Amino acid sequence: MRKGRFRKSLEKTALRYSESISFDRRLYRHDIAGSIAHAAALSKAGIISAAENKKIETGLREIEKEIDFGKFAWGESLEDVHMNIERALTKRIGDAGARLHTARSRNDQIALDLRLYVKDQIKRTSARLKKLQTSFLKLAAKHVDLVMPGYTHLQRAQPILFAHYLLGQIEAFARDRERLEDCLKRTDVMPLGSAALAGSTLVLDRESIARQLGFARVSQNSLDAVSDRDFACEFVFCLAMIGMHLSRFSEDLIIWSTSEFGFVEFSEGFSTGSSLMPQKKNPDMAELTRGKTGRLYGNLMSILTTLKALPSSYNRDLQEDKEAVFDSVDTVSAALEVFSGMLPELKINRKRMETAASDPNLLATDLAEYLVGKGMPFREAHEIVGQLVADSITKGKKLGAIPPAELKKLSSKFDVDVAKVFDLRRSLAARQAVGAPSPKNVKAQIARWQKELM
């Protein structure tokens, strides 16, 4: 690559600083697929012969097999995945290999390779998310009748079904899958043929290349095509959102696994101990996920910062995009695999959840709504019930144990039927609005998700 223009070799320190083969070698499949499609287009345009095209394709597939089996020798001096494969091909098949780079640049090569990689990883990540959603769904179906407290500000708020909580997690990961699907639309654009930035006087059938590589459409501006990394930013953002959802769920599990809550217990296969305290059983998988989410955010900021001040077209700064993408893919893939295996082994303490949910104060809003049903404005009802809660706490009484006579002192609208308000199952059954946690709604949602996921 340096022959002709340069008379000196690149300094070793500069080579070590600038090489990308240590990480971009994972793009070899996509690079080879792109080269095979490019060679076919060169042959179709009459730039290389059919025989040369055949030699190029055969040679590239042999190289791919060598890489698959770990027998390929990568050379740092060749800088990147493109030059390593091209040099190996030229050594293998001679002059035909040297013709392969006609009408293309490493600029459009890497734009192509990264798009192919991201397309592949979008599909893989979506499949992993679906597997995790299925694990949530199976747990929800197993505990469909289990009542627990819902929380706001980490304070007990209102009763819900545990299955309703789990279905909420499924909804969050469904949005993640939707985002990935939407990201795919903007990733599914074929840049090859843009060359360095201005195309080539040797015109190739780009639509044919796109069809061969499975792209939905072809880029319409060569300058933009070699510099566009919007799709990579968007993909890393999607992965960061997945990390955020996993982190929030992890936080719930970490809190619920404490002795103070005791709602859940991690299996031994997904827990660690202490090097000092023999009794400890720590939720390290959840804690690590919470911590790794910071890395996902960092990767997003890294790629956005790299791009923010680049002049138009290709700049070597763009080499820095791949490590952010690769690390985010590896981090999220590992986390999704761990959680899909950890959820089925999670021990649910039904008694602790149901005991916590039996606190009558969780039905204070129901009591206010009882008064609303009797014709009282909600703000007035809210104030009265607030006074009742304060008095019950002062007197050490349960809210549901206050005698009707005392209730009537605050409002004549209280009657003997007020006792029904503190029937927990009746309260849940009454929550029938779309999205609310009535047993009927929860069972319908489980059936819906079973149809979609299983």
According to DSSP, the residues that pair with 150 across neighbouring strands are 158
Q: Is the pLDDT of residue 2 over 80?
A: no
Local confidence band at 404 (pLDDT 50, 70, 90 cut-offs): confident
Give CA–CA dist 237/285, Å, rounded: 22
Q: What is the mean pLDDT of residues 215-221?
A: 98
Q: Angle at CA 112, nearest 5°, toward 109 and 113? A: 85
Distances in Å between the Cα of 317 and the Cα atoms of 18, 106, 111, 149 are: 10, 14, 13, 51
The reported pTM is 0.95
372-391: string of b/e by CB count within 10 Å (b at 16+)? eeeebeeeebbebbeebbee
Q: Which amino acid is at 143?
A: H
Local confidence band at 1 (pLDDT 50, 70, 90 cut-offs): low
CA count, 13 A, side-chain hemisphere, 428: 24
Long-range contact set of residues 369-374: C-beta below 8 Å, sequence gap at least 24:
370/418, 370/421, 371/411, 371/413, 371/414, 374/413
Q: Which two tokens stand for residue 412?
A: 């004549």
Q: Is the pLDDT of residue 82 over 80?
A: yes
Give CA–CA dist 309/217, Å, rounded: 28
Q: Which amino acid is at 173?
A: F
What does the pLDDT read at residue 232? 98
Residue 82: which residues within 8 A CB-CB, separation 6 or more?
31, 106, 109, 110, 113
Q: Are strands 189-190 and 155-161 parallel, antiparallel or unpaired?
A: unpaired
Q: Is the pLDDT of residue 3 over 80?
A: no
- Phi first, then psi: what are they for 7, rounded to 5°? -110, -15
What does the pLDDT read at residue 125? 98
What does the pLDDT read at residue 447? 98
Q: Angle at CA 86, nearest 5°, toward 204 and 58? A: 75
Q: Is the pLDDT of residue 122 over 90?
A: yes
CB 104 within 8 A of CB 192: yes
Residue 88: which residues within 8 A CB-CB, separation 6 or more?
63, 72
Give CA–CA dist 43/47, Å, rounded: 6
The position carrying tokens 């069972």 is: 443
Q: What is the mean pLDDT of residues 99-106?
A: 97
Residues annotated as catalytic are 153, 274
Residue 375: which residues within 8 A CB-CB, separation 6 or more?
413
Longest dimension (CA), the chain: 101
Radius of gyration from C-alpha coordinates of the chain: 31
Local confidence band at 7 (pLDDT 50, 70, 90 cut-offs): confident
Within 10 Å of residue 19's Cβ, how many Cβ atoms? 18
Q: What is the mean pLDDT of residues 17-30?
A: 97
Local confidence band at 259 (pLDDT 50, 70, 90 cut-offs): very high
Q: Among candidates 385, 251, 226, which has minimal Cα distance to 311?
A: 226
Please give the full DSSP string across 139-156, using - where no structure is assigned.
Answer: HHHHTTT-EEEEEETTEE
For 139-194, the pLDDT digits (tens) are 999 999 999 999 999 999 999 999 999 999 999 999 999 999 999 999 999 999 99
Q: What is the mean pLDDT of the chain?
A: 96
What does the pLDDT read at residue 454? 87
Q: What is the DSSP letter of 435?
A: T
What does the pLDDT read at residue 242? 98
More confident residue, 3 or 176: 176
> Residue 74 — left, alpha, or beta (φ > 0 → left; ψ -120 to 50 → alpha)?
beta
Domains and CATH numbers, the chain: 12-102 (1.10.275.10), 107-202+217-355 (1.20.200.10), 359-453 (1.10.40.30)
